[in-house]
Structure 1
Amino acid sequence: MIRHLVLFRLNEGVSRDEPRVTEGVKAFQELGGLIPELEFWECAWNITDRPIAYDFAINSAVHDKDALKSYLEHPAHQAAAGRWREFATWVIADYEF
């Protein structure tokens, strides 16, 4: 199994309640039911307020590298990530477990 973690930081001046952000969150929330390669899917806002903290996180899992590639290339994932490119930056980590 491969764990796929993504941490998002909203760009300066962008707030969680902006329509484009709420639409971006909704797009990610729906991915778990849209992409068959996902074995596990959760996403949520960070609940702590620390200078080093990111704002939003995705924690997901897929079976193997082929499934990860399929997930990353899936049109629904591409569309959701494209929304976030407008208002956030992110870091990822993929590891086997």
Structure 2
Amino acid sequence: MQITIEIPDEIAQRLDQTKGSLSRRLLEFIIADAYHCGKINTAEVRQILQLPSRLETHAFLKRMGVYLNYDESELEQDLQTLKEFRSK
């Protein structure tokens, strides 16, 4: 999907002169917000932004001020994995 937005040229030029391309920064804000709202997961964040690893995805979310969606069931799963790992 391609989305077009209208911004006055003089403002768009100033915005585009800051760090990173304007379109990439807008995409990052949209994706961070979608993750924060629970509409997408970390794998989808990684896929959309073409990040090289899960750790890079977590670092991106941290930079954007978005906490990981980590619930009790995920904690239980991680604890079970840890127990299995320790028993080997």
TM range (shorter): under 0.3
Q: Which has the higher contact order (CA 8 A, sep 6+)?
A: 1
